[in-house]
Chain A
Amino acid sequence: MFTKFLSRKQQDPENLSKVYIPSRREFLKIGSLATGGFLLGVNFQCSGPKGDPISFAPNAYLILDSDNQVTLIAHRSEMGTGIRTSLPMIIADELGADWAKVKIIQAEGDNEKYGDQNTDGSYSVRMFFEPMRQAGAIARLMLINAAAGKWEVDPSECRTEKGQVIHSDGKTADFGELIEELKNQEIPKSEDVKLKNLKDYKLIGKDVPIYDAKDIAIGKAVFGADVDIPGMQIAVIRRSPVIGAKVVSFSDEKALAISGVSRVIKIDGQGIPTGLDKALEGIAVLADNTWAAIQGRKALEVEWDLGPNQTYDSARQLEEMVKSTLTNGQIRREKGDFSNAQRKAKTVLERSFVAPYYAHATMEPPVAIANWKADFCEIWAPTQHPQWARTAVATALGIPEEQVRVNVTLLGGGFGRKSKPDFVVEAALLSKATEGPVRVQWTREDDIHHDFYHSLSAQRIKVTLDDEGKFSGWNHHTVFPAIGATSTPDELHPSDGELGLGCIDFPFEVPNIRIETHESRAHTRIGWLRSVSNIHHSFAVNGMLDEIAEARNMDPVDMLLDLLGEDRNISFEGEMKGTFGNYGEPIEKFPWNTGRLKNVIRRVAQEANWKESLAQGKNIGFAAHKSFLTYVACIVEVDKGANGELLIPNVHYVVDCGVPVNTDRIRSQFEGGAQFATSLATTSAISFENGQVQQNNFDGYQVIRMSQSPRNIHVHIMDSTEKPTGVGEPPVPPFIPALCNAVYKMTGKRIYELPIKI
């Protein structure tokens, strides 16, 4: 996720994620392996905090061995997006490898070796498409040179395909046969390294099944809790029930009496602020099996000083937040003069939108394994951010990072939760305390009670229409406890980064725009959830736009196309009071192009037969939203079931994510995104009373089940040669308002509050 959201320590390398041009110097490392294979390391140059180039050790390893196997290292975390397949696939395609003979191994967390490994913010493909192609192209050129030398032919007469170098006269050599020649190869000159044309790729742009599909289907895939270490103790922790609560006293007598329970250890939390990477205050029960640890925890007797959040009530805070939107806030973007537009307006529409806290509820609850031995801590964890886990563990244990190794397992879901390494730190602390291996296992209740929640939010949007019915003014108030407040409680306004997610980047041609924020305090740990504040911003903005279209007697699709104006790049220049983040990318490199959004809008209207379906009286709703630099438009159809339940028979998505890399995984992210968003829109909500979360498990915090899922999710991918952008998060934001707008068609009632009540 954006470095701005992270703790101060994490913020420093502003450009941690800037990985583009491979440097010539230190570019390659060639080595022989003891096994007789050949290793190629390609350095992705990263720029440092001040833009200074930093040379890292080679960090994309490619290993060829004599039996023609190509081993590629996946350095990003697999949480279900398919990245463990999609990035290595790019190298393999550029190289001309035989995909069936590619083996993928997962990298440990190591900034020096791999650069940025923070798998978040839908940016893995965006960041690594070019470096991966470069890596493959270098290896291909070296193989070709090796074969050409052996055959005494011109390298330009050779190509690679399916793990072979092929000469124009038909001679072939398996990659594995060229290992000896490769060892004598010079590093190619950068001008000789040519990337393939997009049309020549065999894997990129196609449906490529995920590498782990079979292992998952036969139960052999290794997730966090599946790592076993002899002698490992299992820890289950009673954590502070209210953020900031401290243990006054506890008795472990009954817990220790339970068969299998070995020890009870207190973990000192730092209180408020909790930060994003620290353990919460708690009492850990260690046992030789998970069940005994769970039973032991039940038997603990703990007296808490609940601290300042013990009276916190989220419903009351939300009411206060809604009230605050009626006042003048801090202006974050200003264009023209909204007050003047309001004075001259013929019609003013003013609506308030609220949305609750959400929990991530990954199917795999947080879990981590630590093994402390001789001042070295080895970790196995389902982490989205192994480097942060490494830093956080080193800090918590007071040892240098070099004495921490973080192995990354598959993640049983992430959605932003598993970026935060608090659960990894817990395991490390307990392993050090016991000087042995420990698995910290969170239960589902732990997960629901102690998440880093998506913020609850209140928004008010005021719209003015002039004498001619033209859309003359937009005034958007937004208030929600900021992610930053989890580390810095005095951050009372959302950050520029959070506002850049669907709020201040309002792209429409309206002459008078004012965007304001208000103060709110965090009373729990706030984090980022799949698409972050785009969730609530898109809900309000696109709901409001639909209402404006109705007030103007316009088709909402036509209105949006009209409001986007000419096809052009927009920059919001001079309008932002702070910084427009553009998802961490320079706007020159990834411009905000109105034409691309218009194209997905036109296409979705066509794919869903928008006008005809409306004429037929279908209950359909529309929304379009660009997030994470990916352009998406969505049309959702709803219906009522026999028992009055909400049905979603059809969803149409059109996505422009630049060059499509793995089309099957693009579709699967949109299919899953629609289902994830259906939960957010219809079933899920977290609330607090007396400082404590009121939901416990999937009975209280509900996510959709199969019968509630949208039926047919049609995903249409735009052909594009633009730079590729991510698809993990972009499906969520437009779906929710498209669904709300469809529900309005069916019920005649606008949706101003999530989750939707029918």
Chain B
Amino acid sequence: MEKYSLRINNKVHEISAESEMPLLWAIRDLVGLKGTKFGCGQGLCGACTVLLDGSPIRSCSFQLSEVGDNATITTIEGLSDKGDHPVQQAWIKHVVPQCGYCQSGQILSAVALLGSNPTPSDEQIDTAMNGNICRCGTYNRIKEAIHTASISLK
């Protein structure tokens, strides 16, 4: 067992865990933040996406030992205080979710995309979002919501 200080959503959480434990399980089981979802455990579906220093990572396939001491982690709960991040607002406006399970990961991938490319084209959205599976089939509304958020972020 190793000790880790995880800075998640601007709060430091002290945990003890095996160094191989994926960040996902530390966030869900040890820290108790449940907004980050388990989908595949292999980095294939994106349900577990969180931001590590602003970049999207698949937390199910990212070991605690790789996180680094000064890294900042953002989960869906930390994206905004009142649920009013422009991407969250766009998601609500377009009523993107169906079952909703994949949407935390989708939203964080979208936030990362808009962080690096504030006005993405459809093709750029496809490329950035292709790692996030939605089984209900909300892809088109996700795309519309990203365009909407892109405008409001300007």
Q: Which of A425-456 contact B (CB under 8 A)?
A: 441, 443-445
CB-CB < 8 A to B76: which residues of A?
218-219
- Spell out A's residues near B (CB within 8 Å): 78-82, 207, 209-210, 212-214, 216-223, 225-226, 228, 234, 259-260, 289-292, 294, 361-365, 410-415, 441, 443-445, 664, 668-669, 671-676, 697-699, 703, 705-707, 709-713
CB-CB < 8 A to B141: which residues of A?
668, 671
Encode contact with A along B1-13: 1 for CB under 8 Å, 0 otherwise: 1000000000000
B101 touches A364 (CB 8 A): yes
Q: State the Cβ distance, B79 to closest chain A Cβ, in Å.
A: 8
B42 touches A672 (CB 8 A): no
Q: Which of B130-154 contact A (CB under 8 A)?
A: 130-143
Q: State the Cβ distance, A362 to closest chain B Cβ, in Å.
A: 6
Q: State the Cβ distance, A216 to closest chain B Cβ, in Å.
A: 4
CB-CB < 8 A to A668: which residues of B?
95, 98, 138, 141
With contact pairs A219-B35, A289-B30, A444-B40 given, residues A410 and B100 touching in the complex (Cβ less than 8 Å)? yes
Encode contact with A along B109-147: 1 for CB under 8 Å, 0 otherwise: 000000000000000011101111111111111110000
With contact pairs A217-B83, A217-B91 given, residues A706 and B42 touching in the complex (Cβ less than 8 Å)? no
Which 6 pairs, one residue from A and one from B, show the smallest C-beta to C-beta distance? A219-B35, A675-B137, A412-B101, A219-B76, A80-B99, A672-B137
B97 touches A363 (CB 8 A): no
B100 touches A212 (CB 8 A): yes
Q: Report which of B28, B96, B100, B125 forms a contact with A412, defined as CB distance below 8 A.
A: B100
With contact pairs A217-B97, A363-B39, A699-B44 given, residues A259 and B140 touching in the complex (Cβ less than 8 Å)? no
Q: Which of B29, B36, B102 has the most CB of A within 10 A?
A: B29
CB-CB < 8 A to A675: which residues of B?
134, 136-137, 139
B138 touches A365 (CB 8 A): no
Closest to B91 in A: A217
With contact pairs A291-B21, A699-B42 given, residues A216 and B140 touching in the complex (Cβ less than 8 Å)? no
Closest to B35 in A: A219
CA–CA, A668 and B21, complex, Å: 37
Q: Which of B26-44 contact A (CB under 8 A)?
A: 28-30, 32-42, 44
Q: State the Cβ distance, B147 to closest chain A Cβ, in Å.
A: 13
CB-CB < 8 A to B33: which residues of A?
219
With contact pairs A697-B42, A699-B42, A706-B125 given, residues A218 and B135 touching in the complex (Cβ less than 8 Å)? no
A223 touches B101 (CB 8 A): yes
Q: State the Cβ distance, A191 to closest chain B Cβ, in Å.
A: 40
A291 touches B140 (CB 8 A): no
A713 touches B140 (CB 8 A): yes
Q: Which of A216, A364, A414, A711 has the most CB of B within 10 A?
A: A216
A214 touches B100 (CB 8 A): no
Q: Report which of B80, B96, B99 forms a contact with A218, defined as CB distance below 8 A.
A: B80
CA–CA, A16 and B68, complex, Å: 57
CA–CA, A294 and B40, complex, Å: 13
Q: State the Cβ distance, A97 to closest chain B Cβ, in Å.
A: 21
A363 touches B45 (CB 8 A): yes
Closest to B77 in A: A219
Q: Report which of A289, A413, A443 forms a contact with B41, defined as CB distance below 8 A.
A: A443
Q: Which of B51-106 contact A (CB under 8 A)?
A: 75-77, 79-80, 83, 88, 91-92, 95-104
A706 touches B92 (CB 8 A): no
CA–CA, A144 and B38, complex, Å: 50
CB-CB < 8 A to A259: which residues of B?
1, 18
With contact pairs A363-B99, A363-B101 given, residues A705 and B91 touching in the complex (Cβ less than 8 Å)? no
Closest to A79 in B: B99
Q: State the Cβ distance, A663 to closest chain B Cβ, in Å.
A: 11
CA–CA, A672 and B28, complex, Å: 29
With contact pairs A218-B83, A291-B22, A698-B40 given, residues A412 and B137 touching in the complex (Cβ less than 8 Å)? no
CB-CB < 8 A to B131: which residues of A?
705
CB-CB < 8 A to B41: which residues of A?
294, 443-445, 697
Q: State the Cβ distance, B35 to closest chain A Cβ, in Å.
A: 2
CA–CA, A400 and B73, complex, Å: 47
Q: Report which of B45, B97, B107, B138 forms a contact with A698, defined as CB distance below 8 A.
A: B45
CB-CB < 8 A to B1: which residues of A?
259
CB-CB < 8 A to B42: which residues of A?
444, 697-699
A80 touches B107 (CB 8 A): no
Subset of 15 A-B contacts with CB under 8 Å: A217-B103, A217-B107, A218-B80, A259-B18, A289-B25, A290-B29, A291-B22, A362-B99, A410-B99, A413-B101, A671-B138, A697-B42, A697-B44, A698-B44, A713-B140
A234 touches B29 (CB 8 A): yes
A80-B100, A219-B76, A707-B126 given; 16 more Cβ-contact pairs under 8 Å: A219-B33, A289-B25, A289-B29, A363-B134, A363-B135, A363-B136, A441-B38, A444-B41, A668-B98, A671-B138, A672-B98, A675-B137, A697-B44, A703-B135, A706-B139, A711-B140
With contact pairs A444-B39, A668-B138, A672-B137 given, residues A218 and B98 touching in the complex (Cβ less than 8 Å)? no
CA–CA, A212 and B41, complex, Å: 26
Closest to B32 in A: A228
Q: Report which of A209, A443, A676, A712 forms a contact with B137, defined as CB distance below 8 A.
A: A676
Q: Report which of B28, B30, B99 forms a contact with A364, defined as CB distance below 8 A.
A: B99
CA–CA, A444 and B44, complex, Å: 10
A706 touches B130 (CB 8 A): yes
CA–CA, A672 and B100, complex, Å: 13
Q: Report which of A219, A226, A706 forms a contact with B75, defined as CB distance below 8 A.
A: A219
CB-CB < 8 A to A441: which residues of B?
38
B95 touches A228 (CB 8 A): no
B133 touches A291 (CB 8 A): no
Closest to B131 in A: A705
With contact pairs A225-B38, A705-B133, A707-B130 given, residues A212 and B25 touching in the complex (Cβ less than 8 Å)? no
Q: State the Cβ distance, B117 to closest chain A Cβ, in Å.
A: 15
CA–CA, A80 and B102, complex, Å: 11
A364 touches B35 (CB 8 A): no
CB-CB < 8 A to B103: which residues of A?
216-217
CB-CB < 8 A to B28: which residues of A?
225, 290
Q: Which of A259, A290, A445, A706 has the most CB of B within 10 A?
A: A706
CA–CA, A707 and B141, complex, Å: 13
Q: Report which of B36, B101, B137 forms a contact with A674, defined as CB distance below 8 A.
A: B137
Closest to B21 in A: A291
Q: Report which of A207, A216, A225 forms a contact with B100, defined as CB distance below 8 A.
A: A216
B100 touches A291 (CB 8 A): no
CA–CA, A216 and B80, complex, Å: 13
CA–CA, A699 and B44, complex, Å: 7
Q: Report which of B34, B37, B104, B136 forms a contact with A672, defined as CB distance below 8 A.
A: B136
A703 touches B37 (CB 8 A): no
CA–CA, A219 and B4, complex, Å: 24
CB-CB < 8 A to A78: which residues of B?
99
A210 touches B40 (CB 8 A): no
CB-CB < 8 A to A699: which residues of B?
42, 44
CA–CA, A712 and B95, complex, Å: 17
A209 touches B95 (CB 8 A): yes
CA–CA, A676 and B141, complex, Å: 15
CB-CB < 8 A to A294: which residues of B?
41
CA–CA, A669 and B141, complex, Å: 12
A213 touches B92 (CB 8 A): yes
